[in-house]
Amino acid sequence: MDRRLLADRVLSFAESARQVCRSLEYIKESDTAKQFKRASTAIGAAVYEAQYAESVDDFIHKLKIACKEANEAKFWMMYAEGMITINQETKEELEIIQKILNKSISTAIKRRKTQGKR
């Protein structure tokens, strides 16, 4: 999988998350907005950091952080859905990002094993 594609996706998702946060802030759910925004933007930050990882282990670690943040963002998105309507494309994009992250992690782990590292 092209890393640039993932980097573009996480940036685009962060921009979509900003719209969700605006809707949450409009209905005075600023705490939920802050949590969702933090998790959503942390995905992108970790993915961008992974592009300059110092080793395969560092790359895997950073992608695992991105994966954890994506799971947290999903929680806050599901929670927010009880209060506002969230665009279907935004929900689907997060699912795609999670799949790419999981596949990238498993591929990197396999690659590390074939290189003789454990």
Q: Tell me the per-residue pLDDT of 35-88, one tens digit each, with 9 for 90 and over.
A: 999 999 999 999 999 999 999 999 999 999 999 999 999 999 999 999 999 999
For the chain, domain boundaries: 3-114
Give CATH for domain 3-114. Answer: 1.20.1440.60
Q: Tell me the per-residue pLDDT of 17-30, one tens digit each, with 9 for 90 and over.
A: 999 999 999 999 99
CB of 41 closer than 8 Å to CB of 79: no
**Assigned token pair, 110:** 């396999």
- pLDDT band of residue 3 (cuts 50, 70, 90) is low
The structure's pTM equals 0.89
Torsion of CA 96, 99, 105, 108, to 10 degrees: -80
